[in-house]
Structure 1
Amino acid sequence: MRRRAASCWRKGGCMSMSEGPLETMLAAPEAKTAEEPPPPQKPLAPTDSVAGRSLVIVIAITTFLAALAAGAALLVADASADWRKELAREITVQVKPVEGRDLEADVQAVTRTVLTASGVRDARPYTKEESEALLAPWLGEGLNLAELPTPRMVVVKIDPSRPPDLAKLRASLAQATPAAVLDDHRVWLERLSRMAGTVVALAALVFVLIVAAMAVAVASATRAAVATNREIVEVLHLVGADDAFIASEFQRRFLALGLRGAAIGGGAATLFFLVARIVARRIVATPSGEQVAAMFGEAALDARGFAAILLLAAAAALATGLLSRLIVLGRLRELE
């Protein structure tokens, strides 16, 4: 009886049921001429209603924001990994101009000293023009730096598998010239790592808050749908439909809403990151753009990032359907 009643409700009614006033009432829509098809059964949670469209908008917005938070966390994490890899392969020696000493001779002495150290792969001294170009983003373009005591840089490539003894290298540089200062970027790397970790943690917190907001919206919409269709749910209980069947109807409808909203939000997030990649490539040629690229890379997601957005959108849709089912089951137990 329960299976037949559930099947009859799903199809919109049965031609005949067991005797009784309730069964006769449910079968009344079928007591028409054979030429007229039965009227379509209105779903418990219609997807084309005002409430359904509002829920689609909410899911689309939350999915979009969650994808942005996840994408930002991936970008910062990747940039932080690039920083660590790059700095693990490189150290710099700053040669300061000292009165009474030949700066060019000091630069050559520093270069020869670091090249003789074990664990050093290469050393390249920056020219005067290149050193002044490093100051341009901070001091501005068009300034005459000829009269300024601009220090010179020597970039040293090291072997990460067997790095040089920095204490010994500092002692050798001090013997070569008192104007040399070795920088292994350790302090700067620690600060950047802490900053990247903070940004990733904040992005994760924002992501959790967005997911919680979406869950609250789905829960509210599901409870409202159950309350609106309470009389239909009670009739279904009377004719033998079990809680699992009723919950599956709500789950199917809310899953459709979740898929629609997640597709819109995930597609918008994908388009946003694609446009951001194009814009970043256009501004990277500027001095400020070069600094941003040095800090955060090209600000473009790779295939892994877009796959994460796709998985996030799918998870949002599935979570919408599953959450609605759990809430409906809980409300049905309360009605009993």
Structure 2
Amino acid sequence: MTEAAPKPPAEAAPRSQKRPEMKVRPTAPILPSANIQGNALIVVIAIMAFLACLTLGGVSMVRSTAASWESQISREITIQIRPDEGLDMDKTLTQARDLALTFVGTKDGQIVDEAATARLLEPWLGTGLDIKELPVPRLVIITIDENNPPDFEAMRSLLKESIPQASLDDHRTWVDRLVSMAHTTVMIGTGILLLVFSAMVLTVVFATRGALSSNRHIVEVLHFVGAESSFVATEFQKHFLKISLKGSAVGSALAALFFMTAGFLQSHTLATPQTDQATALFGTFSVGALGYAGIFATMIVIALLTTFTARLTVMRTIYEIDTLRSDPTRADGLVN
């Protein structure tokens, strides 16, 4: 009897088999990253940011100009000599300057010549003026020590006795008006900024409630399966943070571009007398490094304010949902 040939041993099964890799599907956001409502809110926030930065820059320019006026006026006084028949104007101007410089607290005196006087009158009377043919007062500018000013009343009395045609102007009235105007401008600008921020907060509240209303079923399901209010609020917060950053960045950039363009155009038209007078009165359109830092800070404040407002609105809405669920009477009334 022939023995059966032994069967070859079966191949040993591999100890470990490679498992297929599991790919985790990325979680979709609660709110869509871009929609019509989000784009409209970006435009609204950009407009609000532009207006806020424009107001801030305007207030900064007015304050800078008023401070420059106050500094220049407080260190100078003006002696005005009215023309009179038989009066030697050049001699009288020199006499008035010398009398003023005898007082303690004066530094220097400068007589405004005929050419400079004619240039001051060019915006109103045109070019080619002959000052000698017109009854135009002449000026003497006295530089004083701001920390130790002279006795203005004594100087005024001495000038009146020595030169009847002379009058002294210490610019105190102008200084008081400039300080009052600067304070009023700051108050008006602050009020406008508060109005802009209030309008923006209300806009964000309505936009957040609209987003919650359109995604209310999702929020309720998440909240029902155990998602905490802070999680849902964080999702909305991220969404509105992106929107507010985009809108505030666009608005702030447009405001900065506006000031840069206005300053560039003004710097290239300073040769005309009209522009010189406007610059002397209202200053330049340059807001400086501090002004641009304020524009950037305004952008950050708008973004944070928008985000904080959205979070508070979501938390309050979820609280209202919990309150309705915990009160069967109110829930039944809402269903009916």
Q: Tell me which interval the TM-score lies in, with the shorter structure as reference length.
A: 0.7 to 0.9
The equivalent of 1:300 in structure 2 is: 286
For 1:247 and 1:114, locate their aligned partners in 2 and report how far apart those are by CA, in whole Å: 72
Residue 136 of structure 1 corresponds to which residue in structure 2? Answer: 122
User: How far is the alpha carbon of 1:210 from its aligned partner?
Assistant: 1.1
Alpha-carbon distance in structure 2 between the residues aligned to 1:234 and 1:72: 47
Task: Tell me how far 1:275 sits from its aligned partner.
Answer: 0.7
Give the structure 2 partner of residue 45 of structure 1: 31
CA distance in 1, matches of 2:136, 2:224: 89
Measure, in 1, the Cα distance between the counterparts of 2:66 and 2:117.
25
CA RMSD, Structure 1 to Structure 2 (Å): 1.6
Alignment correspondent of 1:283 = 269
Matches within 5 A, 1:1-336: 37=23, 40-336=26-322
SS in 2 for 1:285: coil
Distance in 2 separating the partners of 1:238 and 1:107: 91
Q: TM-score, normalised by structure 2?
A: 0.86
Decide whether aligned partners of structure 1 residues 145 and 124 sit closer, same or farther in structure 2, where only a CA change above 3 A counts.
Answer: closer
2:330 aligned partner: none
- Greater CA deviation, 208-217 or 137-146? 137-146
1:291 is displaced (CA, Å) by: 1.1
* Aligned equivalents of 1:235, 1:90: Cα separation in 2: 75
> Quick check: 1:45–1:254 contact (8 Å CA) kept in 2?
no
Which structure 2 residue ranges, 5 or more long, are not aligned? 1-19, 323-336
TM-score, length basis structure 1: 0.86
CA distances 1:33-57 after superposition (whole Å, capped 9, x unpaired): x789565543222231111111111
Tell me the amino acid that sits aligned with residue 163 of structure 1.
Answer: P
> Could you tell me which amino acid in structure 1 is paired with residue 53 of structure 2?
A
Partner in structure 1 of residue 10 of structure 2: none
Q: Measure, in 1, the Cα distance between the counterparts of 2:128 and 2:180.
A: 35
Residues of 1 paired with 2:259 and 2:115: CA distance? Answer: 36
Deviations 1:93-140 (A, max 9, x none): 001111122111111110110111110000001112222222222222
* % same residue: 39
Instruction: For 2:82 and 2:219, locate their aligned partners in 1 and report how far apart those are by CA, in whole Å.
Output: 83
Whole-Å Cα distance in 2 between the matches of residues 47 and 75 of structure 1?
39
Which deviates further from its counterpart, 149-158 or 170-179? 170-179
Equivalent position SS for 2:193: helix
Task: Specify the code of the residue in structure 1 equivalent to 2:224.
Answer: L
Task: Report the residue type matching 1:333 in the other structure.
Answer: Y
Q: Deviations over 1:245-278 (max 9, x none)?
A: 1101100111111111111111111111111110
State whether residues 61 and 284 of structure 2, in contact with CA within 8 Å, keep that contact through their aligned partners in structure 1.
no
| Aligned partners of 2:118 and 2:129 also within 8 Å | no
* Misfit runs of 4+, over 6 Å: none
- What amino acid sits opposite 1:296 in the alignment? F
**8 Å CA contact 1:120, 1:164 repeated in 2:** yes
Per-residue Cα deviation, 1:297-322 (whole angstroms, up to 9, x for no partner): 22201110000000110111111111
* Deviations, residues 64-86 of structure 1 (Å, cap 9, x unaligned): 11000000001101111111111
In 2, the alpha carbon distance for the partners of 1:54 and 1:42 equals 22
Given that 2:62 and 2:182 are in contact with CA atoms closer than 8 Å, whether structure 1 keeps it comes out as yes
Shift of 1:242: 0.9
Contact 2:52 2:193 in 1 (8 A): yes
Structure 1, gaps ≥5 residues long: 1-33
CA contact (8 A) 2:46 2:250 kept: yes
Q: Using the alignment, how far apart are the partners of 2:287 and 2:315 within structure 1?
A: 40
Instruction: Read off the aligned partner of 2:309 and give its amino acid letter.
Output: L
Kept after mapping to 2: 8 A contact 1:132/1:150: no
- Three-state SS of the structure 2 residue aligned to 1:123 is strand
Q: Greater Rg, structure 1 or structure 2?
A: 2
- Structure 2 distance, partners of 1:107, 1:40, is 86
Q: What is the alpha-carbon distance in structure 2 between the residues aligned to residue 87 and residue 109 of structure 1?
A: 23
Tell me the CA shift for residue 186 of structure 1: 1.5
Amino acid at match of 2:302: A
CA distance in 2 between partners of 1:57 and 1:129 (Å)? 53
